Structure formats: structure tokens, C-alpha cells
Structure 1
Amino acid sequence: MQSMPDTPPLVDAEPLTGHLWVQELPTGGQFRFQVANSGRLTFGTADRTFDTVKAVPLSHRRTAMTVSERLNRGALRTALDDPTQITFFGTATRNEGISYDWMALPPFVGTDVWSDTQDGLLAPDAATTVYERLNLPTLPAITKEAPADHTDLTQYEDGTGFPPSAWRDGAAAGILIRDKTGGRAQVWRVDVTDSIPASPPDTATDLAAQYATSDRIERTVAALRDRGHTPTVDAIRDQLVADVAREAYTNFYHDDDFVVPPDAFHAAVGERVQKHRHDQ
């Protein structure tokens, strides 16, 4: 699996040329995946790879779930004799201090596609088409095919040109800018923050009580049924844990470490789900 492409800040990037794609970039972690000839998925963060959804860290697990469920493997097999020649790159969206409409913002948004055959990244328009055919979401376009010579990128450097977000009230938090020759840059609004991380809870039981409420459990049951899954206790627990770790990431992670032992949190959520189902 190829490594994530480096995307420098706009102020440090080489001049972009030709025609530009400018897209909204949500907050989140780097995520990549590859598909074997059998259809089996290998997932990756920036520096590690994983063979199953459950092996993926909680910080990225909801993303792995989404890719596993939504990926159109048939379309991929039809398009490629050897899918291992392709590495997919994107963002594992999560709350890093900026609140989104979490029902609207997909857990995964695809950004780039690496082709071993071409020994490089596909152009932005080609990558977008690939993701659409594979039933995976990609970044919303702010502008497409804008001539670089006539595009004022300084509007993004000072934050004045950030457009409204497709996924939240207010302006976009980040912008990804790419040309068709591999040039790329990103810029973030440093003045945007919607939340302050809460103080870490004392125990996994406290954290579960805060997030695995009866209302949240029922919403998780409905979401599972909507996607054709049987809402078993284990399925509800796994879905709920992955969802809240994404939506309240800054409350679950301090200095890149989960604030309580993850296994204990899973167990505490499972107990609450079991009790809720028993009491119905």
C-alpha cells in the first residue's frame, strides 16, 4: 500500500499550474485502503495498516466501517484486472474542535487515488469519478478547472475567501487545492473552533454513562436497521462506540491516547446496551 501523499501548506507549496480543483477539506485523520483480488480490504492510517475493521483504532474505525459497507467491489473488479495496483486516500472525518452535521458529513471522504500503472496520483477529476463509481463520497468542489493564472489563491491565505461549508453552519474549515500535474496545497482557518475539550472522566463507566444514553442507543438501533443490519447487542455497541469516538473525538483523545482503557469502555457501553434492551 502506498503512503499518504504529502500536502504542504499553501504558503509553502510550489506554484500550482494549469487548471485547479479547489475543494472543501473537513477535519479528520489520514486514511487509506487497498482492495485485494478477493475483495478483502486492508486499511491504513498514516503509518500503520490493519487487516480487519475491528483492528482499526477507534479514532478511524467508523471510517473503516463505512468503506467496508459502501465500497462497490463489483464495479472495482469490472474496472481493474488487479485492484492491488490502486491505493485509495482520504480523510477519516472527526470532531477536532469543529462541529459538523454528523449525519451529513460522511465518516470517509475520498481525496486521491494512486495508480501503480501510472506511477502517480490520478488527476482530481479522474479521482472524483472513481469514487463516485465505487459508491464512496468525495470532497465537494468549490471550483473546478479554474485557470491557475486567473485564480487568486491569496484569498485563502488570510481566510477571507473561505466559502460556506457543505456540512456545517459557517465557513469551511479547510481547503484542498490541486492541479492536474500532482501539485497540491492545503490551508486551514486557524480561527475556527466550536468546542472546548471536556475534562477527562474518572472511569470508563462514567464515559459510557455520558455517551451511551437511551436516546443514543435507540438512534443507533434505527441507523443499523436503515442499513439492513440486525441490531444485536454487539452490533449496537460497536456502532455506538465508533460513532461517538468520531463525533466527540476531542473528548475521547488526549495527546493521541484514549482517555480510558478502550476495552473497558467497550464493556461499559455493552452493559448499558444490554440493560436498555432488557428493560424494553
Structure 2
Amino acid sequence: MKRYPSLPTVSDAPRNLLSGHLWLLERIDGWHLRFRMEESGLLRFGDRETVYDDPESLPIGYAHAVRHVRERFDRAAFRSAVDDVTDVVFFGVATNQRTIEYDWDRLPSFLGHDVWSENAGSFRPPDAAEAIFERLGLDPVNAFERERHARDFDPESYAVPSSAWYDGPAAGVVVRNKTGGRGVIRGAERSASVDQETGSDDPVEAVTAHMDREQLARIKTRIEGRGDPVTVDALAERAFETFLRERHQLVARNGGGRTLEAIRSELLDRSRTFLDDVDAS
């Protein structure tokens, strides 16, 4: 499966980047995720370094993004659009917490930014990639500007805009042209040493504050929207994926096997209590 090339800063990119018409895309502060569809219809995933035969083998923090793609990717539309489904590799971002506290309820679990054709040996232009993701049921990375003429763009004086996904500046801007050139203007990054909701560095304590009844109700609604039964196990598993996504930094600092099992156990208890209360009301 094609590996995504490293992304230079605009100042280090080839001079021909700033030519023609440019697309200015929001740089999302998340994890690299790529996938391809096999002839059987199975989606095969990879992170930046590794391709996994089994989607369940990816690091556990990817679970929410893998589920999102598997549930939404329109396999029938893809088959009808290409002669060989294995020719195409899709690239995007699994939107996990890193240095920015996004509005997680609005931000999709996966945002696509590139489409590679092995037969053509090239990436599709940014406008084509955006249309492809939308046609196949996935959200593309948002564009700050489309078709801006390079002569009207000065990267030295360009101010990174506000993010579309939280109240604050974007993590940066990816500058693209139609011939495959790309570079990044990075924004400021930030980090927190403790959980913002509890002031604690204990991820199990954070479950109580973060995975409240309102959050569980939203997850329950999403499961129902898929037409799936809302069981304790199903609710707890999706709550676990959501918690790992939205509190990844806290879990990463204290997320050994015992901690992860403790989080699972707490979420099972909370899911059971929540559904018992729903049934009783």
C-alpha cells in the first residue's frame, strides 16, 4: 500500500509549489490513516509505517476511525467508479486528541485529504480528491480557500486562520497545487499535563467526568441511527473508543494494560447503569 510522502514546510518545498492555482486546506492535528479496498470488499488499513491485514490489529486508539470508515465507505459506489478497486489508496487523518481540544461532537472520526492511483502513479488533484471522498460517504479535510492564484499568495505574511473544528487557530495550513505540489505552514501547538475536566492525571477518574449521561446518550443515539441494537456491551465498546479518542493524551501517559482494563470495566458499569435507568423511565 502506498506510503504517504513527508510534508515539507512551504519554505522548504520546491519552488514550483507556488504556481498555478492553490488549495489551502486545514491541517488537522491527528493521526495518519490510509486504507485500500480489496476485491472481496474488505478494507485494509495502515498507519504511517505499517499495513495491517486485520483492522482489529491497528493500535487501539484507531478503533473509532476504523469503525467510522467501515460503516460509511460506500463500496458499491466505489466499484461502479473504477475498473480495479485495488488500484486506489485513500489517505486521511484519524482525529484523535493530540495537542488541540477539538469539538469532538462535530469533528468526524476521519477526514480524507488524498487519493492515490497506483496505475497512474500519481495523487488526484485536491478538487478531485474532495469530490471522491464526498461521493464515497466520507468527509474531506475542509478547505480554507480553493483556487487561489499563487501570485496572490505570500506564505511569509499569511496568517493561519481559525479552525473549522474548535474555537481557536488551526494547527496549520496545507498548501496544494494541481500538479501534486504540497507544503505546510504550521500553527502553534499546545499540550496539557492533566485532564482539563478533572484536573487529574488519572484516566479512570476522568471517565466519570467525561463519559457522563449526556455523552452516553449521544453514543446511544448514534448506535440507534445505524439500526443496531443498543446493548450494554455495544454502548460500552463505543464509549471506550470515544474516550480513547477524546482523552488520548491522558491515556497515553497512564495507559498500560491494567489501566485500559480498568477504563473498560468502569465504562461497562456506567453503560449498564445508564441503560437500566433508560429502561426504568
TM normalised by structure 1 equals 0.88
C-alpha distance 165-206 of structure 1, shift in aligned 2 (>3 A) = closer
Aligned residue number for residue 239 of structure 1: 238
- How many percent of aligned residue pairs carry the same amino acid? 33
| 8 Å CA contact retained: 2:37, 2:43 | yes
Q: Output one character per residue of 1:71-91: Cα deviation in whole Å (capped at 9) or x when no partner.
A: 011110001121111110001
Alignment-derived partner of residue 222 in structure 1: 221
Question: Match for residue 6 of structure 2?
Answer: 6
* Equivalent residue in structure 2 for 1:46, among 40, 45, 48: 48
Deviates more, 1:48-57 or 1:105-114: 48-57
CA distance in 2, matches of 1:170, 1:136: 24
CA shift at 1:61, angstroms? 1.5
**1:25 match:** 27
Deviation per CA, 1:150-182: give whole Å up to 9, x if none: 3111134xxxx1222211113222211111222
* Contact map agreement 1:30 1:45 (CA 8 A) in 2: yes
Contact 1:53 1:65 in 2 (8 A): no
Give the superposition deviation at 1:56: 2.7
Map of 2:134 onto structure 1: 132
Check whether the contact 2:93–2:110 (CA below 8 A) recurs between aligned residues: yes
Question: Contact 2:172–2:187 at 8 Å: present in 1 too?
Answer: yes
| 1:37, distance to aligned residue in structure 2 (A) | 1.4
Question: Is the Cα contact below 8 Å between 1:176 and 1:184 reproduced in 2?
Answer: yes
Contact 2:92 / 2:114 at 8 angstroms: preserved in 1?
A: yes
Does residue 200 of structure 1 match 2:197? no
| CA distance in 1 between partners of 2:90 and 2:162 (Å) | 27
Aligned residue in 1 for 2:268: 270
Conserved 8 A contact 1:207-1:265: no
Alignment CA distance shift 1:188-1:112 (3 Å): same
Residues 113 and 130, structure 2, Cα contact 8 Å, conserved in 1? yes
- Looking at structure 2, the residues matched to 263 and 36 of structure 1 have their Cα atoms a distance apart, in angstroms, of 33
Tell me, in whole angstroms, the C-alpha distance in 2 between the residues paired with 1:263 and 1:207: 14
For the residues of structure 2 that align with 1:121 and 1:165, how far apart are their CA atoms? 25
1:189 to 187, 190, 206: 187
2:137 match: secondary structure: coil
Secondary structure (helix, strand or coil) at the match of 2:100 reads: coil
TM-score, normalised with respect to structure 2: 0.87
User: 1:23-73 deviations in whole A, cap 9, x for unaligned?
Assistant: 112210101011111211111111122344433323222111110111011
> 1:61 maps to which residue?
63
Whether the 8 Å contact between 1:63 and 1:107 is mirrored in structure 2 is yes
Task: Give how far 1:258 is off.
Answer: 5.3
Q: 1:154 to 1:205 in 2, by over 3 A?
A: closer
For residue 190 of structure 2, give the secondary structure of its aligned residue in structure 1.
coil
Equivalent of 1:171 in 169, 172, 181: 169
Contact preservation (8 Å) 2:13, 2:183:
yes
Contact 1:212 1:273 survives alignment (8 Å): no
Distance 1:172 1:68 in 2: 28
Q: Is the 8 A contact 2:204 2:259 kept in 1?
A: no
> One-letter code of the match for 1:197?
V
| Map of 1:77 onto structure 2 | 79
Letter paired with 2:269: E
* Counterpart mapping for 1:242-253 below 5 A: 242-253=241-252
Change over 3 Å in CA distance of 1:205–1:144 after alignment to 2? closer
Deviation track 1:217-270 (CA, whole Å, cap 9, x = no partner) reads: 222212211232221122111211111211122212139x65854344323322
Counterpart-to-counterpart distance in 1, 2:106 and 2:204: 30
Residues in 2 aligned to 1:179 and 1:227: alpha-carbon distance in whole angstroms:
38
8 Å CA contact 2:114–2:124 kept in 1: the answer is yes
The equivalent residue for 2:117 is: 115
